Amino acid sequence: MQNENDKKETTKTTVRITGMTCAACSNAVERAIRKVEGVDFAAVNLATETAFVVHSSGVTFDDLGKAVESVGYGVSREIPEELDRKRYLDSRKNLLLALAVTTPLAVLMVFHMLGIHMPWFPLLELVAAGYVIFYVGRGSIKGAWIAVTHLHTNMDTLISIGSVAAWITTLLNVSGIPIASFGSIGAMIVALHVSGRFIESSLRDKAAKEIKNLLKLRATEARIVVDGKELMVPIEAVTKGMTVKVRPGERIPVDGDVISGRSSVDESMITGESMPVIKENGALLTGGALNITGELLVSVTKTGEDTFLSQMVSLVQEAQGSKIPIQALADGVTRVFVPIVTLLAAIAGGTWFVLFPALYPRLEAIRHYLPWVLETDSAVSFGVFVFVATIVIACPCALGLATPMALVAGTGMASKRGLLIRNAEAIQTTKDIEVVLMDKTGTLTAGDPSVVFHNLSSSDLAAAAAIERRSGHPLAKAIGSAVEGDLPDPDPESIEEIAGKGVRGMVGGKLFEIGKPRSFEDYTAWLGGGKTVVEVVRDGEVAGFFAVEDPIREDSASAVEEMKRIGITPVMITGDNETTARAVAERVGITEIHAGVRPEEKLEIVRQYQASGKKILMIGDGINDAAALKGADIGMAIGSGMDLAIDSADIVVMSGGVSRALECIKISGKTFRIITQNLFWAFLYNIVAIPVAMAGLLHPAIAEIAMAMSSISVVLNSLRIKKEGS
């Protein structure tokens, strides 16, 4: 039995699923994974063919694989690009085989229907259609068998029932039973289904282009320097602390710090910013960026799954593999859709068989306008005709793809704009945001502060700088680098960071407390100019202060103005003093501020706004923002901030400032609009088409074309998110 600590330790795993063809398949896999002991959450995405699972540390990949296999599907450890390529080649092969056999068969069928009878055609139809249905379409039959043996149904169930039923009519006809032969129709159903799957697969890959581009940035080799010698090694062999040389024109293979050299680096594929950035001694480098002009020596800080690029890919895949609330509607429908349609098809076919003499004459006038309506004297033939058409037209593939395809396109567009959506539900919620709460330092400001004045003695300055260098606060870097000359670098002890107050530690037996001033009265001149004052207290006595200035981000004022224009209320919420906060707020155009608040008070302010019925987006970057980010309807962390803030956020901003919130709101609105359009047309298509097929007015071949076009239209409509956002 797990102890309490084990239960709290959770792991996120993305599993690649094989064999899924429709929403019913993904629902069956999801239910199976959720039943695994230790799994807290599971979401299976048909569009990306992945399962995103949150589980306890005791659950292994093999445990998840067994659960998937228990309902007839498979898991793959292959590299996604290789699996996608294999899927593409298989679908292309099946398409070519299906078309090679079905096209001449369809031509001969037309001659037969026009009265040019060939005595050998029924036997040819039996063999050729059987090849297409049972060999080319074996994947659908296998999928249908898996579903039936595991007591559920899926799209393959409908395709297989329809095509096999059509082929059986040919078998009966060849056997001498007087029934119209639909074997060619069965082959056409499979050929059109395979064609639709091929086109759909190609479009899915196009929709996921952004994540594929990120994967392409991963290096396979690195040039390490050992004892002055250069050696090319697989990227898996590179470890933290190694020295890597990157020449001009090469991609940076790992995350690290520049220890020698100067160069322009293109980080556009990661940050979205097109301008190259100068990197020199001490600068941070991100794996996947392109080195342009100079040679760089890099000390490796992160490798493998710890690198920024790997984490970025994981976050995007995690969001694309998740589900949003509106998808529950589609999932609920598809779960019962196939058995209901099968029942309706059987009822329709049976009704036409029983009431054929009374109902069929009513179609005489309609046949002049709809020439594909079957002309026959056989009640059995027409009953089968209606049954097959109803089965085929009702495949719920479009319904299953409606939400996940739009989600893939939306999250891909967001990543291209420097936004990582960690929680897919943010796609649905962000569009409804009414109030944006923004931290000041590192959010509205650039997060690159510098000390413009201090009045500390050299010893106190050295002590304060040494303590701040061990702090994670945005102002700490500025204070930590304020030491000039040959001052000593003491080794502080007992360092403690107090969220909302500052940091303290022991240096030379003295207690230094660095943070918010006890009283702001003596610093009004500095505060009124927008500076932040950090007071240094030594053993209970004020030793001096730092005046720190953090430039306002270029996009802050314009973003605030745009928020007001579209009806969103911008609010500053900061732990800094009110005088400084108001000075910055006035420069960016914010009138509503909350200053001098502690971390728990930030969360309380978030709840106060929520209590008034408003949707809240909180933007921050520090430890003191983490609780508010978690408590807000949407938490957005600036990517340069603390790991705790990023871990608490639904969305991570990799480049830019608060203007990215507006980008996210727009992408959310576009994505949700596309999802609702997809669901509306998918529902409407089935509501209209099924009764038409049951009425005997729809040919099975036309039904298959309509079904395939419905799925393709959903994918194409989802791609509009990227087109509109470009």
Active site residues: 439
- Measured distance between the N- and C-terminal CA atoms of the chain, rounded to whole angstroms: 53
Nearest to 636 by CA among 486, 444, 501: 444
Nearest to 180 by CA among 387, 343, 346: 387
Secondary structure E strands in 336-449: 419-421, 435-438
Q: Which residues contact 138 (CB under 8 A, 6 or more apart)?
A: none
Q: Which residues contact 120 (CB under 8 A, 6 or more apart)?
A: none
- Angle 106-112-113 from CA coordinates, rounded to 5°: 90
Q: How distant, in Å, are the alpha carbons of 202, 363, 590, 697, 717 from that of 358?
A: 47, 11, 76, 16, 43
Q: How far apart are CA 298 and CA 282, in angstroms?
A: 9
Query: Do residues 546 and 411 make contact, with C-beta atoms less than 8 angstroms apart?
Result: no
The strand pairing partners of 120, in sequence order, are none
Q: How far apart are CA 491 and CA 120, in angstroms?
A: 96
SS3 content of the chain, % helix, strand, coil (to 5): 55, 20, 30
**Per-residue exposure over 377-404, b if at least 16 CB sit within 10 Å of its own CB, e if not:** ebbbbbbbbbbbbbbbbbbbbbbbbbbb
For the sheet containing 541-549, what is the strand order? 450-454, 541-549, 532-538, 510-515, 502-507, 493-498
In SS3 terms, 1-47 reads as CCCHHHHHCEEEEEEEEECCCCHHHHHHHHHHHHCCCCEEEEEEECC
Handedness of CA 234, 240, 243, 245 (dihedral sign): positive
Nearest to 49 by CA among 71, 70, 75: 75
Query: Do residues 300 and 242 make contact, with C-beta atoms less than 8 angstroms apart?
Result: yes
Three-class SS state of 392: helix
Residue 59 has which token pair?
Answer: 């659950």
Q: 216, exposed or middle or buried, with CB in 10 Å at 0-12, 13-18, 19+?
A: exposed
